[in-house]
Amino acid sequence: LECTGVFLKTPVLEPYLTKCGVKRVVVSAPVKDGMLNVVLGCNHQKLSEDKKILTNASCTTNCLAPVVKVVKEKFGIKH
């Protein structure tokens, strides 16, 4: 679990896997370089064995995404 907020790019997180022997890294902040942002109850089905570094998104995303998901499924959302 990476909770410092300092390591927010894949290249600086990879040494946890390659040098420290960690099997997975979960970042507690949003990482914006293509990493999977997981929100439980919304897109957790995208998790797979090959995902070694992922983020649990931001606190804002974790609060808002489940509500948006329900609204989208029940009423629809137009972009």
Active-site annotation holds for 63: no
Which of 20, 42, 59, 63 is the catalytic position?
A: 59
SS3 helix, strand, coil % of the chain, rounded to 5? 35, 10, 55
Residue 2's SS3 state is: strand
Catalytic positions, written as ranges:
59
